[in-house]
C-alpha cells in the first residue's frame, strides 16, 4: 500500500484525493495482493486467534473447531458458500452470538492474549473495542450527527469535542464532503451507499481496535461498492479489519489474508489471499474458487 | 472454559447498575397492575363467602340484605346477551366479509375502516344516549326494555366484532381461495365453502369475547333508563329488564355494611364467574381450532 | 358437436351481486351508526342551546341541572374530567410504557406468553367492578394515611389508571416490536447495554406508536363512566389547581358521572336537564372522537415507518 501511516493517524485530515488511493485492478488477482502481503508480513502480529472454536445454535453446529490467527492491521476476508458459518464466526469475535438465546460456544477466541469467552469478560466492554458493520445499512432514525456520536455517547467518550470526533469519523469514512452541509438531517435520507459509509463512520468514531464487516457491500450498487472497498483498504492502515463476503472478486481485491469456510462451519484453508486464489492446497477450495461448487 | 494464555488485555467491566435497576423497575411496573387486581379479587372473593349461595342466585332483590337475590339481574343479563349475539354476529361477519373479500382499497373502504376504529373508542355512555334517542325515543322500543338494551349494547360491541372477524378472515391463506377459484367456484361459493368455514373458529372466539365485554356494560343501560331494580324475570322483548352490573351499581350505593361488603361482593363474584365462563368458552374454541391445524 | 358454453349464468351473477350488496350494507351500517350518534346528540343539543346559550354552557362555572337555581356551566365537569384524566395518566402512562419495554426487550418468550394475557385481564374486568373496588377497598385503605373523603378523585384515578395500563402497554409494545432488529444489533455492536439499547434506540424509534397509545388511553380515561360515577362522587366543582392535594382527596364530578346522575334520576318529558344530557354527551363525543382520530392517524404513520 502506498498511503503513509502518518497521514491517517494524524488528526490533520487531508483528503485522500490528494494522494492517489490504491486501486487494485478488478481483474488482476495477483498484482495488488502480492505487494500487500509482502510489505506487511514483516511486521505481522496476531491480534485475534481462534482456538478450537465451535459454535452451536441449539443442537445444530454452526462452527466446527476453528483454528485461525488473524493478523493486526490487515484485511482478513472470510469467504464461503451461504450457511457455511462465516457470519457466525464473525459474530463470535465480538460475542454478538450471546444475544441469541440458544447459542453456545466451545473453545477460545483470544483477543490480544485474552480469551474473550473467559468468565470475567464483559461482552459489552468487549464490543467497545470491536466495531461492527452490518450487511444491510442500519442507521438509527436520528440525524447524521447523532448517528456518528451514538457510540461516543454510549461508551462515555462524549467528553471533549464530540463535533470534532464526528467530523473526523465522517472524513475517514469518506462521507464528510457529501454530508457536511446536512449533519442535522436524518441518516435515513441518505442513499444506500452513503448510509453504509455512515454506519462505518459510526463504527470507527469510538476508535475501536478491530472492525468486523458482515457483507457490507452486498446490498449496494457497483459504484457504492467500489467506494466501500477503497475505504476498507484505507481502514486497514489503522484497524484490523475482518470482512465476511460472498463475493470472491471482492475478497481478492481488498484482502491480505483469506479464510475459506465450507459447509458445516469448517475452516478449510487460511492463507495469504494470493495463495488462496492462485494455488490453494485443497481441491475443495479450488472447486469453490473456480465456481465448481457453492 | 480454561485458558492457558497470559492475559495481557483487560476489557474492563461496564457498569450494569442502571441496567439491572431498570430491568427490576420495568418488571415491577409489569406486575403492579396484575398484583393489585389479584389482591382486590381475593378481597372480594373472601367477602362473598357466606353471601354467595343458592338463595342469592335464585331470589329476587330485597331491601333486607339477608333476603336479597340476584336472579332477575342474572337472567336479564343473559337474555340481553343472547339477543346481542343474534344481532351482532350476522351483521359483524357480513361487514367483515365485505371489507376483506369484496372491497377494493379505495377511499370509501379506508373511510369505513377508520370509522370502525373510531367507533370502538366512543365512550359507552355516548352509546347510551344513542339508544335513548334512537331506540327508546324515535323507534319506541320503550324505556329499559330487553329490546332497547340489546340493540344499544349491540351497536357498542359491533366494531369489536367486525375487527376480530376481519382478522380471522385475513388469516385464511390465499392459496385456499385460489384453489376454490381454480375449481370454477364463484366468489360467493368461495366465501361460503372455503373462507367462512376456515375463519369460523376465529370469528366465534372474537364474538364471544365481545359478548363478555357486553355483559359488563353498565352506563348504556343507565342511559336508556333500565330500571335499577327488577323483581321479576323478563318474559318478552318488551319486558323491563335489569342486568347484573346495573344491580351491582344500585346495591353499591346502599349504605349498609351488609350490602357493601356482602351482597355486592356476592354479585360481583357472580358477574365475574359468568364472565370467566364466557371467556373460557372462547378459549376452548380457539384451542380446539389450533389443534386441528 | 356444439361449442362449449362459457356464457354468464344470469341467476348465479344476480345472486353474487345480491350478496355483495348485502355485505356492503353491513359495512355501511358502521357509518350509519356514526351518523346516528351525531344526529341524536345534535337534535337535542340544538334544542338545549336554544334555551341555554352555547357561551353560557361553555364558560359557566356552576353545574346544577336539577336543583334550583338551575345552572348549566360545563366547566366544573370538564375540570373534574381533567383531574381524573391527569390522575390516571400519572398511573398508566409510566407503568404502561415500562411494561411495554419489559415485554418487548427483557421478557423471555415464555414469560411473555403468560404476562400478556394476564395484562389483558386488567382491561376485561367490568368497570362497575372497578368502581366498587375503588369505593369499598381502595378508599378505606388509603384513608388510613390520607385525609380522604368517602368519594374522592384519587381512588377513582388509580382504578381508571390500572384499567388503561394494557391499552398503553399493548399498543406501545406493538410499536417497539416493529422496530427492526438491525437497529438493536447496531447499538449492541457499539457496546451498548440493554438499558441503553431500550432507551436510546427502541423507545425513540417507536415514539409515534407510544404517542398513539397515550392518546388512546387518555381518551378512554375521559370517557370512563362507572368507576368515576361510583367512586369519585357527584360534586360538580371548578377545581382549584393551586391546591393539587385538595383536587384528589375530595369528591368531584366528571362529565360522564353527571350524565349518569341525570340518567338515574327520573327524567320526565323533555326538560332542560334531559336535553343537557345530550349537550354534555356531544362535548364528550367531540373530545374523544378527535383524540381517537389523532391516535389512529399517528398510528398509521408508525405502521408505515418501517416496512
**Per the CB < 8 Å rule, is B102 touching C101?**
no
- pLDDT 10s digits, C175-185: 899 899 999 99
Residue C10 is predicted with a pLDDT of 72
Q: How far is C32 from C231, CA to CA, in rounded Å? A: 35
Check pLDDT > 80 for residue B186. Answer: no
Tell me which residue range forms the domain holding A188: 141-205
What is chain A's mean pLDDT, rounded? Answer: 82
Check if the beta carbon of residue A128 is closer than 8 Å to that of residue A155: yes
Q: Which residues pair with A109 in a beta bridge?
A: A50
Complex ipTM: 0.88
The structural domain count of chain A equals: 1
Same domain, C29 and C164: no
Residue B28 is predicted with a pLDDT of 94
Same domain, C103 and C22: no
- pLDDT 10s digits, C238-253: 877 777 777 888 888 8
- pLDDT 10s digits, B88-108: 999 999 999 999 988 888 888
- Chain C positions in Cβ-Cβ contact with residue B30 (cut-off 8 Å): 98-99, 102-103, 107, 115, 119, 169
Bigger pLDDT: C117 or A292?
C117
Residue C74 is predicted with a pLDDT of 87
Residue B123 is predicted with a pLDDT of 93
Q: Which of A132, A141, A142 sits opposite C189 (nearest CB)?
A: A132
Residue C64 is predicted with a pLDDT of 82
Q: Which of B1, B7, B14 sits opposite A125 (nearest CB)?
A: B14
Mutant choice from C106, C108, C186 vs A, greatest count of A C-beta within 10 A? C186
| Residue C111 placed within a domain | yes
Nearest CA distance, A242 vs chain C (angstrom): 14
Residue C185 is predicted with a pLDDT of 92
| Residue A11 placed within a domain | no
Check if the beta carbon of residue B131 is closer than 8 Å to that of residue B152: yes
Residue of B nearest to A111 (CA): B9
**Per the CB < 8 Å rule, is B10 touching A110?**
no
- pLDDT 10s digits, C25-50: 999 999 999 999 999 999 888 888 88
Residue C98 is predicted with a pLDDT of 96
Residue C157 is predicted with a pLDDT of 94
Q: How far is CA A238 from CA A119, A250, A266, in A?
A: 30, 20, 30
Residue A260 is predicted with a pLDDT of 93
Give buried/exposed letters for B240-264 (b at 16+ CB in 10 A, else e): bbbbbbbbbbbbbeeeeeebbbbbb
- pLDDT 10s digits, A115-125: 999 888 888 88
- Region C111-134: what's the mean pLDDT? 90
Same domain, C115 and C261: yes
Same domain, C85 and C39: no
SS3 C192: coil
Of the ranges A274-278, B143-147, C107-111, which one carries the lowest mean pLDDT score? B143-147
Same domain, C16 and C150: no
| A-proximal residues of B, 244-283, CB under 8 Å | none
The structural domain count of chain C equals: 2
User: Chain C contact for B223, CB < 8 A?
Assistant: yes
Q: How far is CA C98 from CA A87, A264, B29, C57, C176, in A?
A: 34, 42, 6, 40, 12
Same domain, C233 and C103: yes
Residue C306 is predicted with a pLDDT of 53
SS3 A257: strand
| Residue A89 placed within a domain | no
Residue C214 is predicted with a pLDDT of 94
**Per the CB < 8 Å rule, is A124 touching B14?**
yes
Q: Exposed/middle/buried for B116, CB within 10 Å: 0-12, 13-18, 19+?
A: buried
| Residue A188 placed within a domain | yes
- Region B12-17: what's the mean pLDDT? 81
Selection from A202, A240, A196 nearest residue A221 by Cα: A196
- Where residue C235 sits, what CATH number does that domain have? 1.10.3720.10
Residue B172 is predicted with a pLDDT of 87
- pLDDT 10s digits, B274-288: 999 988 888 888 787
Q: How far is B245 from B145, CA to CA, in rounded Å? A: 16
Q: Which of B1, B6, B14 sits opposite A118 (nearest CB)?
A: B1
Q: How far is C199 from A46, CA to CA, in rounded Å? A: 37
Residue A155 is predicted with a pLDDT of 84
| Residue A272 placed within a domain | no
Of the ranges A74-83, A187-196, B146-155, C1-10, which one carries the lowest mean pLDDT score? C1-10
Q: Exposed/middle/buried for A44, CB within 10 Å: 0-12, 13-18, 19+?
A: middle
Could you tell me whether strands A103-111 and A114-115 are parallel, antiparallel, or unpaired per DSSP bridges?
antiparallel
- pLDDT 10s digits, C260-284: 888 887 655 567 888 888 899 999 9
Q: Domains (ranges, CATH) in chain B?
A: 76-243 (1.10.3720.10)
Same domain, C227 and C300: yes
Same domain, C118 and C23: no
| Residue A247 placed within a domain | no
Same domain, C68 and C42: no
Confidence of residue B126 (pLDDT cuts 50, 70, 90): very high
Check pLDDT > 80 for residue A38. Answer: no
| Residue C4 placed within a domain | no
Bigger pLDDT: C302 or C273?
C273
Residue C305 is predicted with a pLDDT of 56
| Residue A238 placed within a domain | no
Give buried/exposed letters for B97-112 (b at 16+ CB in 10 A, else e): bbbbbbbeeeeeeeeb
| Residue C170 placed within a domain | yes
List all chains that touch chain C, counting a touch as 3 or more CB pairs closer than 8 Å. Answer: A, B
Residue A109 phi, psi (nearest 5): -125, 105
| Residue C3 placed within a domain | no
Of the ranges A109-123, B252-266, C89-103, which one carries the lowest mean pLDDT score? B252-266
Check pLDDT > 60 for residue B4. Answer: no
Tell me which residue range forms the domain holding C173: 63-305
Residue B47 is predicted with a pLDDT of 85
| Residue C1 placed within a domain | no
Amino acid at each position: 500500500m502506498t498511503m503513509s501511516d502518518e497521514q491517517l493517524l494524524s488528526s490533520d485530515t487531508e483528503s485522500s484525493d490528494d494522494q492517489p488511493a490504491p486501486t487494485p485492478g478488478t481483474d488482476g488477482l495477483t498484482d495488488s495482493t502480492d505487494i500487500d502481503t509482502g510489505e506487511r508480513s514483516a511486521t505481522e502480529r496476531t491480534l485475534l486467534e481462534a482456538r478450537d472454536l465451535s459454535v452451536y445454535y441449539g443442537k445444530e453446529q454452526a462452527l466446527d473447531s476453528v483454528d485461525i490467527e488473524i493478523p493486526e492491521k490487515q484485511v482478513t476476508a472470510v469467504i464461503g458458500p451461504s450457511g457455511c458459518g462465516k457470519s457466525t464466526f464473525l459474530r463470535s469475535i465480538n460475542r454478538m452470538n450471546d444475544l441469541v438465546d440458544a447459542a453456545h460456544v466451545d473453545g477460545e477466541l483470544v483477543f490480544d492474549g485474552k480469551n474473550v469467552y473467559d468468565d470475567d469478560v464483559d461482552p459489552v466492554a468487549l464490543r467497545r473495542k470491536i466495531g461492527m458493520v452490518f450487511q444491510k445499512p442500519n442507521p438509527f432514525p436520528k440525524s447524521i450527527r447523532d448517528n456518528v456520536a451514538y457510540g461516543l455517547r454510549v461508551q462515555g467518550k462524549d467528553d471533549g469535542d464530540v463535533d470534532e470526533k464526528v467530523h473526523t469519523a465522517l472524513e475517514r469514512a469518506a462521507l464528510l464532503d457529501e454530508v457536511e452541509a446536512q449533519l442535522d438531517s436524518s441518516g435515513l435520507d441518505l442513499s444506500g451507499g452513503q448510509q453504509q459509509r455512515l454506519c462505518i463512520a459510526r463504527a470507527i468514531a469510538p476508535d475501536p481496535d478491530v472492525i468486523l464487516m458482515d457483507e457490507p457491500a452486498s446490498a449496494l450498487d457497483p459504484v457504492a461498492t467500489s467506494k466501500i472497498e477503497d475505504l476498507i483498504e484505507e481502514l486497514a492502515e489503522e484497524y484490523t479489519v475482518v470482512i465476511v463476503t460472498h463475493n470472491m472478486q471482492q475478497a481478492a481485491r481488498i484482502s491480505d489474508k483469506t479464510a475459506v469456510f465450507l459447509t458445516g462451519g469448517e475452516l478449510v484453508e487460511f492463507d495469504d489471499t494470493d495463495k488462496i486464489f492462485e494455488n490453494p492446497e485443497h481441491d475443495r477450495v479450488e472447486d469453490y474458487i473456480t465456481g465448481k461448487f457453492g | 472454559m480454561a485458558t492457558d494464555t497470559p492475559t495481557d488485555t483487560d476489557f474492563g467491566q461496564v457498569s450494569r447498575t442502571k441496567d439491572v435497576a431498570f430491568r427490576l423497575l420495568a418488571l415491577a411496573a409489569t406486575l403492579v397492575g396484575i398484583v393489585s387486581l389479584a389482591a382486590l379479587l381475593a378481597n372480594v372473593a373472601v367477602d362473598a363467602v357466606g353471601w354467595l349461595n343458592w338463595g342469592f342466585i335464585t331470589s329476587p332483590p330485597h331491601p333486607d340484605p339477608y333476603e336479597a337475590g340476584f336472579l332477575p339481574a342474572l337472567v336479564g343479563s343473559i337474555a340481553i346477551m343472547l339477543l346481542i349475539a343474534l344481532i351482532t354476529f350476522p351483521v359483524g361477519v357480513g361487514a367483515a366479509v365485505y371489507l376483506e373479500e369484496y372491497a377494493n382499497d379505495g377511499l370509501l373502504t379506508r373511510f369505513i375502516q377508520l370509522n370502525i376504529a373510531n367507533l370502538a373508542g366512543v365512550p359507552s355512555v355516548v352509546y347510551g344516549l344513542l339508544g335513548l334517542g334512537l331506540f327508546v325515543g324515535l323507534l319506541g322500543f320503550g324505556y329499559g326494555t330487553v329490546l332497547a338494551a340489546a340493540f344499544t349494547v349491540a351497536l357498542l360491541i359491533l366494531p369489536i366484532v367486525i375487527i376480530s372477524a376481519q382478522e380471522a378472515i385475513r388469516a385464511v391463506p390465499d392459496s385456499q381461495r385460489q384453489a376454490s377459484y381454480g375449481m370454477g367456484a364463484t366468489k360467493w361459493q368461495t366465501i361460503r365453502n372455503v373462507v367462512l368455514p376456515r375463519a369460523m373458529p376465529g370469528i366465534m372466539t372474537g364474538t364471544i369475547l365481545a359478548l363478555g365485554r357486553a355483559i359488563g356494560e353498565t352506563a348504556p343501560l343507565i342511559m336508556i333508563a333500565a330500571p335499577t331494580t327488577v323483581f321479576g324475570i323478563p318474559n318478552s322483548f318488551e319486558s323491563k329488564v335489569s342486568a347484573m352490573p346495573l344491580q351491582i351499581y344500585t346495591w353499591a350505593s346502599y349504605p349498609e355494611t351488609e350490602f357493601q361488603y356482602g351482597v355486592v361482593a356476592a354479585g360481583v363474584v357472580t358477574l365475574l364467574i359468568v364472565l370467566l365462563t364466557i371467556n373460557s368458552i372462547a378459549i376452548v374454541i380457539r384451542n380446539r381450532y389450533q389443534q386441528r391445524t | 358437436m356444439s361449442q362449449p358454453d362459457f356464457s354468464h349464468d344470469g341467476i348465479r351473477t344476480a345472486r353474487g351481486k345480491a350478496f355483495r350488496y348485502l355485505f356492503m350494507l353491513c359495512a355501511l351500517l358502521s357509518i350509519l351508526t356514526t351518523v346516528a350518534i351525531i344526529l341524536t346528540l345534535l337534535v337535542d343539543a340544538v334544542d338545549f342551546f336554544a334555551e341555554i346559550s352555547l357561551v353560557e354552557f361553555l364558560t359557566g362555572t356552576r353545574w346544577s341541572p336539577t336543583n334550583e337555581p338551575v345552572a348549566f356551566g360545563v366547566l366544573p365537569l370538564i375540570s373534574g374530567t381533567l383531574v381524573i384524566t391527569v390522575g390516571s395518566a400519572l398511573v398508566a402512562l409510566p407503568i404502561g410504557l415500562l411494561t411495554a419495554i419489559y415485554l418487548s426487550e427483557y421478557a423471555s418468550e415464555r414469560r411473555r406468553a403468560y404476562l400478556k394475557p394476564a395484562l389483558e385481564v386488567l382491561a376485561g374486568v367490568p368497570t362497575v367492578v372497578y368502581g366498587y373496588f375503588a369505593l369499598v377497598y381502595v378508599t378505606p385503605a388509603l384513608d388510613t394515611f390520607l385525609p380522604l373523603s368517602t368519594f374522592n378523585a384519587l381512588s377513582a384515578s388509580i382504578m381508571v389508571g390500572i384499567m388503561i395500563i394494557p391499552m398503553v402497554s399493548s399498543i406501545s409494545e406493538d410499536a417497539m416490536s416493529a422496530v427492526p432488529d438491525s437497529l438493536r444489533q447496531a447499538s449492541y455492536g457499539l457496546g451498548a447495554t440493554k438499558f441503553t439499547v431500550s432507551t436510546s434506540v427502541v423507545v425513540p424509534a417507536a415514539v409515534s406508536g407510544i404517542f398513539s397509545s397515550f392518546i388512546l388511553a387518555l381518551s378512554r380515561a375521559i370517557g370512563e363512566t362507572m368507576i368515576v360515577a361510583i367512586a369519585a362522587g357527584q360534586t360538580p366543582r371548578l377545581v382549584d389547581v393551586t391546591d393539587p392535594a385538595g383536587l384528589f382527596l375530595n369528591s368531584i364530578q366528571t362529565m360522564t358521572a353527571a350524565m349518569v346522575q341525570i340518567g338515574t334520576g327520573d327524567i320526565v318529558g323533555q326538560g332542560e336537564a334531559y336535553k343537557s344530557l345530550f349537550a354534555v354527551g356531544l362535548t364528550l363525543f367531540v373530545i374523544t372522537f378527535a383524540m381517537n382520530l389523532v391516535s389512529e392517524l399517528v398510528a398509521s404513520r408508525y405502521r408505515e415507518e418501517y416496512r
